Amino acid sequence: MKHYGLTGFPLSHSFSKKFFTEKFEAEGITDCRYDLYPIEHIKDLQDLLDEHPDIKGLNVTIPHKINVLPYLDWIEHDARTAGAVNCIRVTAESPIEAAFSGEIGVKDHDFRLEGYNTDIYGFEQSLKPLIGDGNDDALVLGDGGAAKAVKCVLENLGISYKVVTRKPTHQPDNILFKDLKPHHIMHHKIIINTTPLGTYPNVDECPPIPYDYIEDGHVLYDLIYNPEETMFLREGRLRGAVTKNGYEMLVLQAEKSWEIWTSKEKHP
């Protein structure tokens, strides 16, 4: 039996487990299962893999998307650029092979850990149909781990953006929520919420932006998928904006993870 799963902490709710369990059943995949593997500290990753030697792939969620990087033997380009990994492929490799390849990762291991960011793929594929070939600028609300994939995609697509945060950061171009003015909204037609504001059960929350200046030329994208329509999206819809939640992104990133885990491709 091949094992796949989600690691992070805590893991109180998992889209991935439900998705893959239903996928395996629908597609008649009987030799695979998907489980939750909560680890509070990323240093326990080796123990997890030692205890479950049949694990062939992992999805990674908070708080480990960034701090897992030093434990990986190889990281694909976009994940390295974003500085975050949400998908790990586990392949067999002896410590001698790893030593000759010059790789470092989890010490004294007999497996190779490859890191990917399928959030980048999922977000890009779900965003592109909404924006066409336009050259509109974007506002990225929040600058946590979830924003890393978003910023990577915007850069790949050549879309200029400003990041909006609650507290001052070391990035001089960032804007504070309290300093947002009508012209920021009017001049940035793509607005992406990467904050948790509005996530169930706190459905009455939303990012504090001047919604009255949103119009039918705007696109509002919320990485949140529960509830289906957040207050952020509802405020945009009522003013004529195109809106989208994060569900399709989740599905696309999950399917991309499966493609990576089952690929025979080898990387240097």
Q: Which residues are catalytic?
A: 65
Q: And the tokens for 264?
A: 């025979």
Residue for token pair 């062939």: 56
Residue 258 DSSP SS3:
helix
Is the Cβ–Cβ distance between 246 and 224 less than 8 Å? yes
CA distance 4 to 259: 13
Q: And the tokens for 9?
A: 């902490």
Which conformational region is residue 238 in: left (phi greater than 0), alpha (psi within -120 to 50 degrees), or beta?
A: alpha
Residue from 204, 201, 200 nearest 235 by CA: 204
Phi then psi dihedrals of residue 11, to 5 deg: -120, 65
One-letter amino acid at 84 equals A
Determine which helix (DSSP H) or strand (DSSP E) holds 112, and give its type and residue range. Answer: strand 111-116
Is the Cβ–Cβ distance between 208 and 165 less than 8 Å? no
- Other beta carbons within 10 angstroms of residue 110's beta carbon come to 14
Pairing of strands 2-8, 32-38: parallel
Alpha helices (H) along 86-144: 95-101, 118-131
